[in-house]
Amino acid sequence: MLTVKVSSKYRVVLSKEVREELGIRPGQRLQVLHFPDRIEFVPVREIKSTRGSLRGIETDIRREKDRA
């Protein structure tokens, strides 16, 4: 498990391993999710980067007869 240290200015440095694995670049935003016993950083992605991510998803939906 990787650990980080909070600096005196409350800054956290992500290790090179984590940055490379998640593709995090300088200036990129991270969403901070806080829970009672932990915090999580989630990279914020541009909406354009999700294009094609649902390719191949089944779009046939059975509808009830009264829903045309």
Under DSSP, the state recorded for 10 is S
CB under 8 Å, gap of 24 or more: what pairs does 49-55 form? none
Q: Is 39 exposed, middle or buried (0-12, 13-18, 19+ CB in 10 A)?
A: exposed
- Mean pLDDT computed over every residue of the chain: 87
Does an H or E element contain 16, and which?
Answer: helix 16-22
* The model's pTM: 0.58
As beta bridge partners, residue 40 has 33
Question: What pLDDT is attached to residue 9?
Answer: 96
| pLDDT of 68 strictly over 70 | no
Question: What pLDDT is attached to residue 26?
Answer: 93
